[in-house]
């Protein structure tokens, strides 16, 4: 592997925060993974022109490390990588609660029907065979990101109704039996996470990852404190949050 890949490389056209407009949105972030330096440069150049923040790495290990440290919006992923191949990278990203929502476009010379089916079965959102058109790649990426943004907006606008509880994610509001609940940010995030899937049991660490992120400096036991506080505020409805012995917690179905 080329020495150029010893460290991940990020797009360097950074605009200092004090020079940005107050309403300027953050750039969407794309991680490109390939062990061919010329291809990395080609993809990087075209994505930067489209306005994305781009990071390039040359191995599966670097891709996993970068994505877990700071999940990108989308990964362009080669299959034929040294040590940890692209299929395994895809599988691990989709299995990790912190990165399972990251979009993945496989860009590879393995373009047989069987390879495409395998890639999509592992969780890839799109599959482009080499040689490829940079314009087509850009169009596919734009379409995926636009579709994901539309899904997220719809999710924020969708009220979660469960028993006497009503949660509006976009407005960050919750009511119980028609009365507003005064919740902290963490309590609201915890309640929303559990109520989205009634009956599903989650471990304490899964709850920490979903509510605060993998690197949040708390212990699993601190989840118990948050749950206790949430139950107090739910009053006679505190039993909505159920303890699953030996596992963690779930929202009553």
Same domain, 168 and 48: no
Same domain, 141 and 192: no
Same domain, 68 and 118: yes
Q: What average pLDDT score do residues 104-126 get? A: 81
Q: What is the chain's length?
A: 253
Q: What average pLDDT score do residues 205-211 get? A: 83
Give the end of a domain, one of 133, 155, 177.
155
pLDDT band at residue 218 under the 50/70/90 scheme: low
CATH code for position 189: 1.10.10.10
**pLDDT tens track for 14-28:** 333 344 444 556 789
Mean of pLDDT over the chain:
84
**pLDDT tens track for 152-174:** 887 777 889 989 999 998 888 99
* Burial of 97 per CB tally in 10 Å (0-12, 13-18, 19+): middle
Residues paired with 54 in a beta bridge: 30
Q: Which domain holds residue 233?
A: 160-251
Same domain, 146 and 170: no
Same domain, 151 and 164: no
Give the end of a domain, one of 106, 138, 155.
155
The separation between the first and the last C-alpha atoms of the chain, rounded to the nearest angstrom, is 52
H-assigned helices in 97-133: 113-121
Same domain, 150 and 242: no
Same domain, 110 and 169: no
- The two structure tokens encoding residue 46: 């075209």
Q: What average pLDDT score do residues 47-60 get? A: 95
Farthest-apart Cα atoms in the chain, separation = 63
Give the end of a domain, one of 140, 155, 170.
155
The total domain count for the chain is 2
Instruction: Give me the pLDDT at residue 170, please.
Output: 82
Spatial distance between the Cα atoms of 199 and 209, rounded to a whole number of angstroms: 19
Asked whether the beta carbons of 77 and 56 are under 8 A apart, the reply is no
Same domain, 97 and 187: no
Same domain, 122 and 174: no
């Amino acid at each position: 592997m080329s020495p150029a890949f010893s460290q991940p490389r990020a797009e360097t056209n950074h605009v200092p925060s004090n020079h940005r407009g107050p309403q300027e949105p953050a750039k969407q972030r794309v991680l490109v993974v390939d062990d061919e330096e010329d291809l990395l440069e080609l993809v990087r150049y075209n994505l930067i022109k489209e306005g994305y923040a781009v990071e390039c790495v040359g191995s599966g290990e670097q891709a996993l490390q970068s994505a877990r440290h700071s999940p990108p919006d989308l990964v362009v992923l080669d299959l034929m990588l040294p040590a940890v191949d692209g299929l395994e990278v895809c599988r691990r990203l989709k299995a990790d609660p912190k990165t399972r929502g990251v979009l993945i476009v496989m860009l590879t010379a393995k373009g047989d029907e069987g390879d495409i089916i395998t890639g999509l079965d592992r969780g890839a959102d799109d599959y482009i065979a080499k040689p490829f058109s940079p314009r087509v790649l850009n169009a596919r990426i734009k379409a995926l990101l636009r579709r994901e943004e539309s899904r997220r907006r719809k999710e924020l606008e969708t009220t979660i109704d469960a028993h006497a509880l009503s949660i509006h994610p976009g407005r960050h509001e919750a009511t119980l039996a028609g009365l507003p609940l005064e919740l902290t940010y963490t309590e609201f995030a915890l309640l929303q996470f559990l109520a989205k899937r009634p009956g599903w049991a989650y471990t304490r660490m899964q709850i920490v990852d979903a509510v605060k992120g993998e690197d949040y400096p708390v212990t699993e036991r601190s989840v118990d404190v948050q749950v206790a506080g949430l139950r107090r505020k739910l009053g006679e409805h505190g039993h909505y949050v159920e303890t699953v012995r030996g596992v963690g917690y779930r929202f009553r179905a």
